[in-house]
Amino acid sequence: MSEYDYDLIVIGAGPAGYVAALRAAQLGLRTACIDRWRDREGTPRLGGTCLNAGCIPSKALLESSLRYARLRDEFAEHGVLVGGITLDLAQTHARKQAAVQRLTQGIAGLFSAQGVDWLKGEGRLLGPRRVAFVPHGRKKPRTLAAEHIVLAPGSHPGTLDTAPVDGTYIVDSDGALEFAEVPKRLAIVGAGVIGLELGTVWRRFGAEVLLLEAQDTFLPIADAGFARLALKSYASQGLEIRLGARVLDARVSGHGARVHYSDADGEERQERFDRVIVAVGRRPSTGGLYSDDSGLQLDERRFIGVDTHCRTNLPGVWAIGDAVRGPMLAHKGAEEGIMVAERIAGGQGEINYEHIPAVIYTEPEFAWVGPTEEQLRQAGIPYRSGRFPLAANGRAVAQGETDGEIKLLAHAETDRLLAAHIFAPQASELVAQAMIALSLQGSAEDLARTLYAHPSLSEAVHEAALDISGCALHLA
Ligand code: FAD
């Protein structure tokens, strides 16, 4: 008999933790996964933020709002005349919830198929090899022993002292996915990825949307030229984005909220909104995750300290996902889950942190992978760029979606592909071509010599690759 209850205990069943648990079980490890998430009815749910209050519900609402806006604004141009369009927002939310349930129940099915024990309740690291587990509805913890422990507690919305969330009129991203009515005037504090996606949802449903962004630069994480392109495109869709705007005070007032902010010129303004969304980034959920005498080291921002393979300072204790350094993205956490499970099982899992794609699911979508031109210049890496506008792509013209551009960057001497910056319909899919080329260490010429179906948006990737050597065919 083993001295341990499990080979591996994972705390947290978001995309990082549940993937780690599944991969570990596939590799033959006796695995348990502790998670405390419960939905509004009190039912325990797997999948963490991503499935319950992040990626999936937001994409479900983006899809519904896109169809609504297209029907309202674009169908007549196609000769399809539809009268009396109304929105049944309760049904929209029901559909979103059905998608969430289907996927979260799917993970429960995978856990039972792979033999992962789902422990519903709170987990706390006591030290190497020991975890305290308090099942839902109980107070007394059980101590469980495991040879390895993976911490995957994820993150929660950041707050602003100047804009306290009341959950009805001033909400965080969780509340913004649940509005029972379309707000007439909506303010969003923070024009980052989450603010832009939520703003897009409610704008398409008919809200007037103002995004207040404290930074002077729009999307500083993205390619500067493409960020300017995106800003222009979002403005044309009715997303009003004010940069350099600092919220001084946001308070609930009547059936709405009053927002007092200073604009880029330092001038103070007061405006009333029906709803305010605070979308100022996310914080690691490390509070209560470990006992003080466990010895676990965190950094000054309360992220768990890890090395490149996600080992913490404690033997046999690993940490992955949003609660450790790196982009707060589901696919980054999931890859870390696979890497850690493989290493625990004696394998050599690795992640290339340079090649993690980022996507903003607006319209067009905005996706990128690899460095920006600015970063390459700063690093002294010689490069060549190739670009192609969607306006010159046959499929985009047929679809009536010509807003956008694709840019590829390749090493000037070796031609090795370095980066892709894509502002285009289905950029989340198009960027996968660059991902494959990058992971196979391919060159711009490899993409240029690949044959693409016509007409397809992918041909714009082909042309951008051809443009690196000045050979794009449909570019004057
Ligand atoms: P989480 O998903 O946060 O899961 C952590 C889990 O651990 C939770 O279930 C939590 O309840 C549980 N837990 C924490 N502490 C304990 C404890 N002590 N005991 C028991 N259980 C515990 N990312 C993308 O890649 N693509 C997107 O399109 C995208 N869209 C998003 C949209 C929104 C609105 C938001 C808010 C986020 C979005 N994200 C997106 C980010 C994505 O959701 C996160 O990066 C991802 O969920 C992080 O995964 P994780 O496993 O680290 O943590």
Q: How many CB atoms lie within 10 A of CB 137?
A: 8
Q: Which of 23, 46, 49 to mutate to test the pocket of ligand 1 (most atoms within 8 A of CB)?
A: 49
Cβ atoms within 10 Å, residue 125: 25
Residues 310 and 380 in one domain: no
Domain identity same for 147 and 234 = no
Cβ of 65 closer than 6 Å to ligand 1, yes or no, is no
| Domain CATH number, residue 453 | 3.30.390.30
**Does any ligand 1 atom lie closer than 6 A to the CB of residue 289?**
yes
Q: Are residues 205 and 325 in the same domain?
A: no
- Exposed/middle/buried for residue 322 (C-beta within 10 Å: 0-12, 13-18, 19+): buried
Asked if residue 321 belongs to a domain, the reply is yes
Q: For residue 345, what are the contacts with CB-CB under 8 A and spacing of at least 6?
A: 24, 27, 28, 29
Cβ(188) – ligand 1 distance below 6 Å: no
- At 18, the pLDDT band (50, 70, 90 cuts) reads very high
Question: Mutation test of ligand 1: which of 38, 55, 304 has the most ligand atoms closer than 8 Å to its C-beta?
Answer: 55
Mean pLDDT confidence for 218-233: 97
Total domains, the chain: 3
Contact 15, 335 (CB under 8 A): no
Q: Which of 264, 280, 296 is the last residue in one of the domains?
A: 280
Q: Is 96 helix (H, G, I), strand (E, B) or coil?
A: helix
Instruction: Give the confidence band of 7 by pLDDT, cuts at 50, 70, 90.
Output: very high
Alpha-carbon distance 353 to 250, whole Å? 38
78-98 pLDDT, tens digit each: 999 998 899 999 999 999 999
Does residue 82 lie within any of the structural domains?
A: yes
- The radius of gyration of the chain from alpha carbons, rounded to an integer in Å, stands at 24
454 catalytically annotated: yes
Tokens matching residue 29? 């490890």
Q: Is the CB of 131 under 6 A from ligand 1?
A: no
Domain end among 280, 312, 328: 280
Q: What's the confidence (pLDDT) of residue 282? A: 97
Cα torsion angle, 240, 356, 123, 127, sign: negative
pTM above 0.95, yes or no: yes
Length of the chain: 476
Whether residues 107 and 124 share a domain: the answer is yes
Residue type at position 347: G
The SS3 of residue 213 is: strand
139 and 74 share a domain?
yes
How does pLDDT run across 321-342, given as a tens digit for each residue?
A: 999 999 999 999 999 999 999 9
CATH number for the domain that contains residue 203: 3.50.50.60
Residue 144 has pLDDT above 80, yes or no: yes
Domain with 275 in it: 170-280
Determine, yes or no, domain membership for 145.
yes
**Please, what sign has the CA dihedral across residues 204, 208, 213, 218?**
positive
> Considering the chain, what is the average pLDDT of its residues?
97
Higher local confidence (pLDDT), 2 or 232: 232
> Ligand 1 pocket, 104 CB below 6 A?
no
What b/e readout covers 444-476, taking b as 16+ CB neighbours within 10 angstroms?
bbbbbeeebeeebbbbbbbbbbbbbeeebeeee
Binding-site sequence positions for FAD: 59, 123, 322, 328-331
Question: Given 230, 260, 280, which residue is the final one in a domain?
Answer: 280
Kindly indicate whether the ipTM for this predicted assembly is greater than 0.90, answering yes or no: yes
Looking at the structure, do residues 30 and 103 belong to the same domain, yes or no?
yes
Asked whether residue 474 is assigned to any structural domain, the reply reads no
Whether 138 is covered by a domain: the verdict is yes
- Do residue 431 and residue 392 come from a single domain? yes
Residues 207 and 248 both lie in one domain: yes
Does residue 335 share a domain with residue 196?
A: no
Q: What is the pLDDT of residue 83?
A: 86
Summarised one tens digit per residue, pLDDT across range 391-424 is 999 999 999 999 999 999 999 999 999 999 999 9
| Mean pLDDT, residues 342-365 taken together | 97
Task: For residues 211 and 68, give the distance between their C-alpha atoms in angstroms, rounded to a whole number.
Answer: 22
In this model, does residue 123 exceed pLDDT 80?
Answer: yes
Q: Are residues 142 and 21 in the same domain?
A: yes
Residue 2 has pLDDT above 90, yes or no: no
pLDDT in the model for residue 159: 96
Confirm whether 359 is domain-assigned.
no
Same domain, 293 and 147: yes
Domain co-membership, 288 together with 150: yes
DSSP 305: P
Strands (E), 166-255: 170-171, 185-189, 208-213, 239-243, 246-252
pLDDT band with cut points at 50, 70 and 90 for residue 138: very high
Choose the catalytic residue: 156, 411, 454, 462: 454
In a domain, 382, yes or no: yes
What value does the mean pLDDT take over residues 40-59?
Answer: 97
Does the residue 267 lie in any domain?
yes
Looking at residue 418, what is its pLDDT?
98
Using 50, 70 and 90 to split pLDDT, how confident is the model at 1? Answer: low
